[in-house]
Amino acid sequence: MITRFKFSPNDRIVVLTGAGISAESGLKTFRDSDGLWENHRVEEVATPEAYLRNPELVWRFYKQRYLQLSEVEPNPGHKALKQIEDFAGGNFTLITQNVDGLHRRCGNKRVLEIHGSLELSFCSKCLAKFPMNEIDLEQSLPRCDNCGGLLRPDIIWFGEIPYHLDIISDILCQADFFLVVGTSGVVYPAAQFLHICKSYNAITIGINLEEPKNSYLLDEFHQGKAGELLPELVRIWTRGK
């Protein structure tokens, strides 16, 4: 028996995913151990100050990250999470720290991208959003069609407040199951989300390459790759609907 749990059709299931599941598709992020993202430091490309200092460099960086998305595909871990949404429907929420859109591309609908999306930008003046595929990426500094303001990637940078936090606390309080996938569970926001779910009696399950230090908050921990473990776990959790 690899898991002692099973979902019921009315269970509210919340999943939090982090860099680990994207890494299995070949994408790197800052959460890799060396603290660099494709050889750039956080302070160079992922703070509001970096953007003010050198917007061309920041744009070049995110354009490359955006273009790289066409070279990767959702992996079996993403596909297994899609199956959970198929099972739970409106009772499912996927919260992701990833900005690559792979969950949406895999077919998940109820996705909250708390760190934004590489596929969007917004006007730093009037805040209008623009899909990247509608922007002329040949320009070194794309501008807003409405007001001429500078566009910036729709990415939550260090020091900025993540998206959707207002609705997430309600969702966490009501969860019957909370799954943490591809993130250590020690660092904010995963650690805080885990605490909330635990204090409201959700069943908590972790899947990650390394066992987190706060694994005492997890009712079950599975060590390894999401793409290798999740397909079988999901098959068992959703069996017998």
Give the C-alpha distances (Å, rounded to integers) separating 55 from 5, 41, 49.
49, 15, 9
Piece of 44-52, 66-74, 127-135, 197-205 that binds Zn ion (CB under 5 A) = 127-135
Residue 105 sits in the site that holds Zn ion (CB under 5 A): no
- Answer yes or no: 115 catalytic: yes
Residue 141 sits in the site that holds Zn ion (CB under 5 A): no
**Bridge partners of residue 116, in order along the sequence:** 155
What mask, x for binding Zn ion by CB under 5 A, covers residues 36 to 75?
A: ----------------------------------------
Residue 144 sits in the site that holds Zn ion (CB under 5 A): yes
| Smallest separation (angstroms) from Zn ion to the CB of 120 | 14
Residue 123 sits in the site that holds Zn ion (CB under 5 A): yes
| Smallest separation (angstroms) from Zn ion to the CB of 116 | 17
Catalytic position from the list 78, 115, 195, 222: 115
Q: Residue 144 in 3-state DSSP?
A: coil
Q: Tell me the catalytic residues.
A: 115
Residues that bind Zn ion (CB under 5 A): 123, 125-126, 128, 144, 146-147, 149
